[in-house]
Structure 1
Amino acid sequence: MKKLLIIALLSTAFFKAGAQELNAKVQMLAPTVPNINKRNLELLQTTIRDFLNNNKWTNETYLQPERIDCNFVITITNWDGGSSYKAEAQIQSRRAVFGSSYNSTLLNMSDKDFDFNYNEGQPVDFSDQTFLSNIGSLLSYYAFTIIGLDKDSFSKMGGTPFYIKAQNILNLAQNAGNTGWKAFDGLRNRYWLNENLLNKSFEPLRTFIYNYHRNGLDILQDDQTKAIKNILAFLPDLQQMDKQKLGSIFPNVYFASKGEEISNVFSLANTSDKMTAYNLLVEIDPANINKYEQLKKSL
């Protein structure tokens, strides 16, 4: 009986450990800030990592291999000697490709306004009903955004409920006075990323993300020709996007991180498909034309 109880407890512990959605790595840096409290930074690094990894962000159960790999590199740029920190953050998330050891980047976002207050030993938390702290809002906003993008890559428009959760956090944070939550804070901030993700004008890009991964990358190992043909067939859908919106943050961030990968995939194509892909990509994503030049050179 005792043995069965131990097994049950261990099973429960394993279930809980594997239930969360994120597998986040966190790095706190302060290369230019003299006399910063390094112990406080180490404690904060652990607190942020635990907050991201131990919170339950959905009502679903994720097995350990299904957890979403993500990195938060937070660089402190100024410290007031107390609890106030000015910082920048680089947030990345990846998605495993079926049948391979390759991980495909979904988000690579630079947040220049990752400012917060933190006292040693202070818990980080968030609420979907009220604003508690900027650090809790920042982390939960990106947690839901990361999960949303992952969902979009597995089911068509599957990320919408999570972008709405991120929008709710954004709305609650707007009255707290921190930068990056409002439209007039800049063109490449959290407000505009969320606006783009929920804007119907960018639905062709979200649909492409699904098709590119599920009907492209995920079958590349089993049927390379079919995978490449599928991706090539989906590219014209992106021409539906308003050309004036190509410089917006969502397509800009997405193609900046995916351009090289897409080019590498099409480098496996035949000459005709390479040329078609090149012509489409330089029209859809002119900002990253240098990443597609290798296709033209290999013709």
Structure 2
Amino acid sequence: MKKLTILISIFFFILSSVSAQELRCNVTVSSQKIKGANKNLFRTMQSDLYEFMNNRKWTEHVYSYDEKIKCNILIRLDEQIAADEFRGSIQVQLTRPVYNSSYETTILNIKDNDFHCRYVEYQPLEFNETSNRDNLTNILAYYAYVILGFDYDTFSPMGGTQYFEKAQAIVNNSQNAAMKGWKAFESERNRYWLVENMLNNSYQDYRNCLYQYHRQGLDLMSERPDDGRSTIANALRDIQKVFRRRPNTYIVQAFFDAKADELVNIFSKSYPDERNRVMAILTEVDPANGNKYEKIAENEGF
């Protein structure tokens, strides 16, 4: 009987450990542009990156399986520079369930063209928070914390701060890295600027928008669609404030890369006055998607 009790305790310990990790991250490594390469190498890489993202403990919180954060990472390798050195891009997408519905909303959908790494098949991936010895694990850990930061911001005001700070620490530790993506002068839209924007008090309205849009807007729409839609419309004013302070801010474009289609679906069902107010904001702050937003205006409304 005592042995049975011990076995049961071990089983539940293992079960809780398995469910403790925060991310449910789908990882894809595409190597189609690299001709004549050992394809098994890239399958092993994909498996190793999957294990790194999903089996590492990123926070102090315990998650059930259903609570895990759903995200996708697509790595396109364009060039094999050496036997263990690769260059390409990494696309990161984060989704979140909407309360009391089967709908999942996209929070983040960004592409980083400065993916440059070394990878040796069957060599363990090691991440050190205080060094920049491995650009591959630094990039993955950086985006793990960015994913957590954005997700937490949608559930509580400024809830992701500690994770953005962890991502910023990786950026700071990578300032002497030879590989691109970490420094302010290299681009206006890279890893440096993404986390800088999220922690910059001048752009705090953006983070207020994330909370209002998702927790007080989308999560309310299944029960009170008009109220939820109205909150989202008001939240867009916060994005407008950030845009007017600095039109080319990375996070503003990142918001609309994730939300443009969703906004069309939401406000095509809106009242005329609300629809007009939203259209005025969208055409000002996101003219690149103007053709999409015309569908809102075309709707006759109520």
TM-score tier (shorter): over 0.9
Percent identical pairs in the alignment equals 36
Listed one character per residue, the Cα deviations across residues 20-62 of structure 1 (whole Å, up to 9, x for unaligned) are: 1111111111112111121111111111000000111111111
Which residue in the other structure is 1:5 paired with? 6
Which amino acid in the other structure matches residue 170 of structure 2?
A: I
Which amino acid in the other structure matches residue 84 of structure 2?
A: S
Which residue in the other structure is 2:118 paired with? 117
User: Are positions 1:107 and 2:108 aligned together?
Assistant: yes
Cα 1:127–1:203 change in 2 (3 A) is same
Which residue in the other structure is 2:40 paired with? 39
Which amino acid in the other structure matches residue 119 of structure 2?
A: Y
User: Are positions 1:236 and 2:240 aligned together?
Assistant: no
Which amino acid in the other structure matches residue 86 of structure 1?
A: R
Which residue in the other structure is 1:133 paired with? 134
Cα displacement (A) at 1:231: 1.6
Listed one character per residue, the Cα deviations across residues 208-233 of structure 1 (whole Å, up to 9, x for unaligned) are: 01000001111111111111122223
3-state SS of 1:115 partner: strand
Tell me, yes or no, if the aligned pair for 1:256 and 1:288 is still in contact at 8 Å: no
Aligned residues: 299
Listed one character per residue, the Cα deviations across residues 235-291 of structure 1 (whole Å, up to 9, x for unaligned) are: 323332252523221111111210110221112222222222212222233332222
3-state SS of 1:70 partner: strand
Distance in 1 between residues matched to 2:292 and 2:126, nearest whole Å: 41
Q: Where does the alignment leave 5 or more consecutive residues of structure 1 unmatched?
A: none
Tell me, yes or no, if the aligned pair for 2:184 and 2:192 is still in contact at 8 Å: yes
Cα 1:57–1:255 change in 2 (3 A) is same
Which residue in the other structure is 2:92 paired with? 91
User: Are positions 1:293 and 2:297 aligned together?
Assistant: no
Tell me, yes or no, if the aligned pair for 1:160 and 1:198 is still in contact at 8 Å: yes
Cα 1:139–1:230 change in 2 (3 A) is same
* Residue range with higher mean Cα deviation, 193-202 or 139-148: 193-202
Distance in 1 between residues matched to 2:93 and 2:230, nearest whole Å: 28
Distance in 2 between residues matched to 1:9 and 1:268, nearest whole Å: 53
Matches within 5 A, 1:145-160: 145-160=146-161
Which residue in the other structure is 2:263 paired with? 262
Distance in 2 between residues matched to 1:222 and 1:4, nearest whole Å: 46
Tell me, yes or no, if the aligned pair for 1:246 and 1:252 is still in contact at 8 Å: no
Which residue in the other structure is 1:49 paired with? 50
Cα 1:96–1:219 change in 2 (3 A) is same
Which amino acid in the other structure matches residue 227 of structure 1?
A: G
Which residue in the other structure is 2:72 paired with? 71
User: Are positions 1:26 and 2:47 aligned together?
Assistant: no
Which residue in the other structure is 1:198 paired with? 199
Which residue in the other structure is 2:211 paired with? 210
Which residue in the other structure is 2:181 paired with? 180
Distance in 2 between residues matched to 1:250 and 1:238, nearest whole Å: 9
Distance in 2 between residues matched to 1:234 and 1:88, nearest whole Å: 32
Distance in 1 between residues matched to 2:130 and 2:218, nearest whole Å: 39
Distance in 2 between residues matched to 1:228 and 1:295, nearest whole Å: 14
Distance in 1 between residues matched to 2:237 and 2:33, nearest whole Å: 46
TM-score by length of 2: 0.95
3-state SS of 2:52 partner: helix
Cα displacement (A) at 1:113: 1.0
Cα displacement (A) at 1:114: 0.7
Tell me, yes or no, if the aligned pair for 2:85 and 2:117 is still in contact at 8 Å: yes
Distance in 1 between residues matched to 2:198 and 2:129, nearest whole Å: 19
Listed one character per residue, the Cα deviations across residues 4-31 of structure 1 (whole Å, up to 9, x for unaligned) are: 3232222112211111111111111111
Distance in 1 between residues matched to 2:273 and 2:81, nearest whole Å: 59
Which residue in the other structure is 1:15 paired with? 16
Tell me, yes or no, if the aligned pair for 1:43 and 1:121 is still in contact at 8 Å: yes
